[in-house]
Amino acid sequence: MRYPVEMVLDLLSAGMSTAEIQADYPDLEAADITAVLQYPAQLARVQRVEILPA
């Protein structure tokens, strides 16, 4: 079963623990929740851009 990353992030940001989420959604494993957290972390990474002289 697939759950949107946004839904799991909403649950976490509302203060639910990993254990509470897993109790409500038994198909989710701890590794799934970790992957959910890795996704926005990757999106938030800023790549360094260097402007080269002309």
**10-48 confidence digits (pLDDT tens):** 999 999 999 999 999 999 999 999 999 998 888 888 777
- φ/ψ of 38, rounded to 5, equals -70, -30
d(CA 25, CA 21): 6
Four-residue CA torsion sign, 10, 15, 18, 23:
negative
pLDDT tier, 51 (very low <50, low <70, confident <90, very high otherwise): confident
